[in-house]
């Protein structure tokens, strides 16, 4: 995939601000809150923790999105760095709810973040009447302050109660699930299109229970923005990565990109174009207790739709005619 124009240092700084903001909130603000409990300002954190207790279930009951946060100008700088765009192939009617498969995971899921968690690429104008929610690890919503930040952007928990709530309260809701999960992050290396999907059928069952339409998406360029060091399954490092995942819920990936200085290695991603192609929705019947045969049927139809979506657009966005999706 061809390189885009060289981003400015300001755009690079804005890009670094996004992943580092999680670390800043976790490692700086939260210890500060604990410290304030032992000072004369103790009422401030005490009130927040009391409110947190009362607000605990909000992430599983639709969240608390903020149009103001979703329209921060910082997101446009992240968009322009790569750049990131979204391509609609079919309209989504506000009269239905949708369960969207997000592929591939990549390392930091830049495409899905920018397209569905912000208005930088104009989601609301592209899909009027549709409210997007991108699902992520549930334990993020147990972290004070981090949960507020995520909910403001429309991010929801990937837990079953949270998804059930969104698909059963009103219409026009679109819930995006990165089906390959954190395991797919280890498959994220340039020039690969490997998806963990063959045995991932829970999202199809959920869609059937609610009669939600399935929407396949593929983000071209997501795996091109970083190089990753892969470790053999018999190595100590791979064992460490597996243990890390069991404890924290995601893999400790060793990856690198570029730095501010040309020709040197750093943590900035390569400025490669990222394009999320949103496919045609696949209508599903509403079945309270779908059989395994029915789940298998619609799972196969979904894989076929995703495969066709990839084949129709791959040569336009940097893939060769002979490159195919690989399902694990």
What average pLDDT score do residues 67-73 get?
A: 94
pLDDT interval class at 35 (50, 70, 90): confident
pLDDT above 90 (res 262): no
Band of the pLDDT at 249, cuts 50, 70, 90?
confident
Which residue has better confidence, 259 or 9? 259
pLDDT in tens, 136-149: 989 889 888 889 99
Per-residue pLDDT averaged across 218-223, rounded? 95
Together in a domain, 36 and 162 = no
Q: How confident is the model at residue 101 (pLDDT cuts 50, 70, 90)?
A: very high
d(CA 53, CA 50): 5
DSSP string, 175-237: EEE-TTTGGGGGG--TT--EE--TT--HHHHHHHHHTPEEEEEEEETGGGS-EEE---TTSHH
**Is the same domain home to 47 and 63?**
no
Q: Is residue 30 part of a domain?
A: yes
Is residue 65 over pLDDT 60?
yes
Instruction: Go through the chain and tell me how many residues it has.
Output: 328
Residues 105 and 126 in one domain: yes
Give a yes or no: residue 237 inside a domain. no
Q: Is the pLDDT of residue 215 over 90?
A: yes
Q: Is the domain of 157 the same as that of 13? A: no
> With bands split at pLDDT 50, 70 and 90, how would you rate the model's confidence at 12?
low
* Helices vs strands, H then E, count in the chain: 12, 12
Residue 250 lies in a domain: no
169 and 310, same domain (yes or no): yes
The overall longest dimension of the chain from CA atoms, in Å, is 67
Evaluate whether residue 258 is within a structural domain: no
Question: Does the structure show a pLDDT above 80 at 248?
Answer: no
Three-class secondary structure of residue 173 per DSSP: strand
* Arithmetic mean of pLDDT, 189-202: 92
Categorize the per-residue pLDDT at 4 as very low, low, confident or very high, splitting at 50, 70 and 90: very low
141 and 15 belong to one structural domain: no
**Residue reference for tokens 């399954």:** 233
Token digits of residue 264: 């040197």
Listing DSSP states for 262-317 in one string gives TT-EESBPP---EEEEE---B-----SS--HHHHHHHHHHHHHHHHHHHHHHGGGG
SS3 31: helix
Q: What is the span of the domain harbouring residue 26?
A: 8-55
Clarify whether residues 24 and 154 are in a common domain: no
Domain check: are 210 and 78 in the same one?
A: yes
Assess whether 69 and 100 both reside in one domain: yes
**Per-residue pLDDT, 300:** 97
pLDDT at 132 over 70: yes
30: nearest Cα among 15, 43, 48: 48
Q: Would residue 234 count as lying in a domain? A: no
Region for 184 from its dihedrals, namely left if φ exceeds 0, alpha if ψ lies in -120 to 50, beta otherwise: alpha
> Is residue 35 domain-shared with residue 136, that is, in the same domain?
no
| pLDDT of 11 over the 70 cut | no
Sequence-distant (6+) residues with CB within 8 A of 3 are: 270, 271, 272
Q: Dump pLDDT digits (tens) for 288-321.
A: 999 999 999 999 999 999 999 999 999 999 888 8
Mean pLDDT of 102-117: 93
Say whether both 35 and 92 belong to one domain: no
User: What's the number of domains the chain is made of?
Assistant: 2
- Give the CATH number of the domain where residue 124 resides: 3.40.1130.10
Q: Is residue 163 predicted with pLDDT exceeding 90?
A: yes
Give me the mean pLDDT over the 182-202 stretch: 90
Over residues 262-271, the mean pLDDT reads 85
Task: Look at residues 55, 77, 94 and tell me which one is the last residue of a structural domain.
Answer: 55
Flag whether 113 is in a domain: yes
Q: Is residue 241 part of a domain?
A: no
Whether 165 has a pLDDT exceeding 60, the answer reads yes
The pairing of beta strand 155-157 with beta strand 227-229: unpaired
Residues 37 and 148 in one domain: no
Chain segment 115-125, per-residue pLDDT in tens: 999 999 999 99
Structural domain contains residue 209: yes
| pLDDT given for residue 3 in this prediction | 45
pLDDT band for position 2 (cuts 50, 70, 90): very low
């Amino acid at each position: 995939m061809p390189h885009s124009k060289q981003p400015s240092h300001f755009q690079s700084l804005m890009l670094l601000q996004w992943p580092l903001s999680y670390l800043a909130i976790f490692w700086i603000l939260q210890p500060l809150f604990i410290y304030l409990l032992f000072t004369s300002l103790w009422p401030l954190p005490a009130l927040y923790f009391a409110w947190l207790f009362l607000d605990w279930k909000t992430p599983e009951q639709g969240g608390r999105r903020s149009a103001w946060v979703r329209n921060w100008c910082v997101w446009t700088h992240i968009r322009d760095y790569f750049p990131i765009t979204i391509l609609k192939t079919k309209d989504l009617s506000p009269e239905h709810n949708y369960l969207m498969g997000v592929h591939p995971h990549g390392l930091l899921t830049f495409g899905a973040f920018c397209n569905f968690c912000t208005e930088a690429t104009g989601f609301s104008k592209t899909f009027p009447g549709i409210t997007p929610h991108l699902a992520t690890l549930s334990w993020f919503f147990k972290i004070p302050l981090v949960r507020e930040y995520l909910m403001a952007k429309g991010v929801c928990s990937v837990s079953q109660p949270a998804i059930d709530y969104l698909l059963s309260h009103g219409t026009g809701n679109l819930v995006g699930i990165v089906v390959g999960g954190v395991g797919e992050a280890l498959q994220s290396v340039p020039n690969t299109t490997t998806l963990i999907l063959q045995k991932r059928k829970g999202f199809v069952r959920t869609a059937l229970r609610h009669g939600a339409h399935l929407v396949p998406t593929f983000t071209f360029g997501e795996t091109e923005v970083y190089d990753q060091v892969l470790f053999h399954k018999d190595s100590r490092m791979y064992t460490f990565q597996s243990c890390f995942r069991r404890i924290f819920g995601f893999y400790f990936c060793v990856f690198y990109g570029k730095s501010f200085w040309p020709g040197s290695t750093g943590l900035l991603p390569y400025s490669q174009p990222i394009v999320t192609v949103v496919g045609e929705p696949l209508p599903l019947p509403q079945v309270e207790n779908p059989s395994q045969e029915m789940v298998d049927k619609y799972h196969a139809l979904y894989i076929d739709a995703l495969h066709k979506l990839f084949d129709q657009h791959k040569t336009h966005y940097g893939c060769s005619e002979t490159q195919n999706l690989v399902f694990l």
